[in-house]
A and B are shown apart, each in its own frame.
Chain A
Amino acid sequence: MATTTVQAPLPGTFYHRSAPDQPPFKAPGDAVAIGDTLGLIEVMKTFTPVAAEAAGRFVRFLVDDADAVMAGQPLYELET
C-alpha cells in the first residue's frame, strides 16, 4: 500500500461534485477504477472532468470544493 497524490492537469476552479446538490464523486474509502471521475475543473466556464489514471482507494481531497487550483497542484490522495 502506497499513498500517492494526484495533481491538477489544468488551472481553474476544482469541484468535488457534479452540482451543488449532488454528493461528492468520491468519499474516503471508496474504490477508484481507472477512468472514474474524481472531480471537475472549471476553466473559463468550461468544465473538464478529472479522470483517475490509476486504480486504488480514495483517501481524501486536498483542495476544498469550489476552490481555485493551479496546474500541478495536488488535488487528492489515492491509496494504491
Chain B
Amino acid sequence: MGLRKILVANRGEIAVRIIRAARELGIRTVQAASAADGDMLAARMADEVVQIGPAPAARSYLNREALIGAALACGADAMHPGYGFLSEDPRFAEAVEQAGLVFIGPDAATIRRMGDKATARATAMAAGVPTVPGSAGRVADVAAALELADGIGFPLMIKASAGGGGRGIRVCADADALAQLFPVASAEALAAFGDGGLYLERFVARARHIEVQVLGDGADVIHLFERECSLQRRRQKILEEAPAPCLDAATRDRLCSAAVRLAQGIGYRGAGTLEFLYDEAEGAFYFIEMNTRIQVEHPVTEMVTGIDIVREMIRIAGGEKLQITQAEVTLHGHAVECRINAEDPMQDFRPAPGRITALAIPGGPGVRFDTMLYEGYDVPPFYDSLLGKLVTWDETRSGALARMRGALRELVVAGLPTTVALHRRLIDAPDVIAGRFHTGWLESWLATRPLDPVAEAMT
C-alpha cells in the first residue's frame, strides 16, 4: 500500500533520523512537538508541526490520545514511535491500529508478549534459545523465590517483569538479601511499572552485553549481525560497536541464528533487538530481553551492513516484504559509536540543559554524527540528555577507533558540559583499545577518576 504521511511521535535526534528516512521514501512528515519543543531541529525539518501538549512528557510524548488525535487531524496514515516514550507500550500500538493508522513496529500482541520480560524468557526457552538460569516465569512470593534460588544459585538478580532498559533490577548476594529485597522490589515494580510481577535470574559476573539486530516482515526474519554494548554506566550504554570483537565466526553464527529462530517463532514484524549476556570464559550466550523498536545505537549496524534500518522498518510497516535475503547481508568493516550526552562527567554525570553557543561537527570519510543540535538551540531540561551519536567506520576496528579519536578532537559542543571529555579519555584506555571489557568495566574505570586533571598530567 505504501505510506503517505507519518506522524513522528518522538523528539530529539531520533525524530530527525525518522524524518530523513521518510523524506527519502517520498513520505510526508508531521512532527509532534511539546510546548518546549517548537524550535527543535525535527520541527524545523518536518513538513508540518503539531503541538501535542505541555512540556512534561507525561502530558505530551506519553499522551496517547493527543498523539492519535493529532495524527487523525492532520491526515497522517502512520505513527512512528521512535525509542523510549510510547514505543513499547502495547496499549498505544493497539489504539493506533484501532484508529485506522499504521503503527511502525510490531503489533500490540508481540509488544505485550516480548515486553513482559518473564514471558519473553519463556518464549526464548520454547524456541530453544538459551536463557540465563533462573525462574521459568513470574515468581509468586518470597517463599517460592527462596525455593527456586537454591537451584539458580547466588548471586542472583530480582528483575521486574514489566521493567527494562536496566530499570527494576536488584542484585542479591544470598538468601537473606533475597528474602529482604523481594517485597521491596515488588512494591517498587508496582510503583514504577504498574505491575509488581518479578522473576529471578542468575547474576553472570564479568559478562558482556551483546545484542542482535533483526528485521522481520511478519513472515521472514533476517539478522543484521550483532552489537557489543558492554560499556555502560548505571546500565545506560555509553559506547557501542559492531561487530563484537570478542566473537569468533562460529559463535557469531550460533548467536545470530538463535536470535532469528526466536524472532521467526513469533512472526516478528519490524526492527527489533535481542539482547544477550555473553560469558566469554564459557563461550556461552544467554537471551535476556527483546526490544521491539528501533534502538539508539542502530547506526553502528547500519555502518557495517550498509542497510538503512529506519527506512526498512517504514517500508515493512507500509506492507512491503523484506527486500534483502540473509545471504545478502554481509559484515563489512567495523563501526564505533560514542553517545554525546548533556551530562557533566566531572560532576557525577549531572545532567546539564542549556544553550548551544558553538557547534563544530566532524567530517571526513567514515564519520557520521546523528544529532538534533544547532547553534543557538536551547536544550530543554524535560527530556533525555542524549545530544547526539558520533559514529565512525573503517575497514578495521583500530581504524574505526583512530577515526573516532580524530572526530572527538574535531567535535565542539559548547555552552553546556557534555560527555565528549569522557569519550576522549575512554577511547585511549588500553582495555578499550584491546576490546577487553565487560558490563562492570566502565564503572570500575570511572572509580579510578580518569578525568581528574592530576591523573591526566601523570599519564
Contacts and interface: CB of A to CB of B under 8 A. Distances in A.
Q: Do A and B bind each other?
A: yes
A67 B56 contact: yes
Interface hub of A11, A19, A42, A67 (most chain B Cβ within 10 A): A11
Interface string B55-89: 11011000000000000000000000000000000
A46 B351 contact: yes
A21 B191 contact: yes
A57 B56 CA distance: 29
A14 to B, nearest CB: 9
Contacts of A46: 350-351
B54 interface: yes
Given A19-B191, A43-B351, A44-B342, A10 B381 contact: yes
Given A13-B55, A19-B191, A21-B191, A45 B381 contact: no
A45 B350 contact: no
Interface in A1-51: 10-13, 19, 21, 42-46
B58 A43 contact: no
Contact of A44 (B54, B58, B381): B381
A62 interface: no
A35 B84 CA distance: 35
Interface string B379-404: 00111110000000000000000000
Interface string B33-73: 00110000000000000000011101100000000000000
In this complex, the member of B36, B59, B351, B383 whose beta carbon has the largest number of chain A beta carbons within 10 angstroms is: B351
B120 to A, nearest CB: 24
Interface in B315-351: 342-343, 350-351
A45 B36 contact: no
Contacts of A66: 56, 58-59
A46 B56 CA distance: 14
B105 interface: no
A68 interface: yes
**5 tightest A-B CB contacts, nearest first:** A44-B351, A68-B55, A44-B385, A12-B381, A11-B381
Interface of B: 35-36, 54-56, 58-59, 191, 342-343, 350-351, 353, 381-385
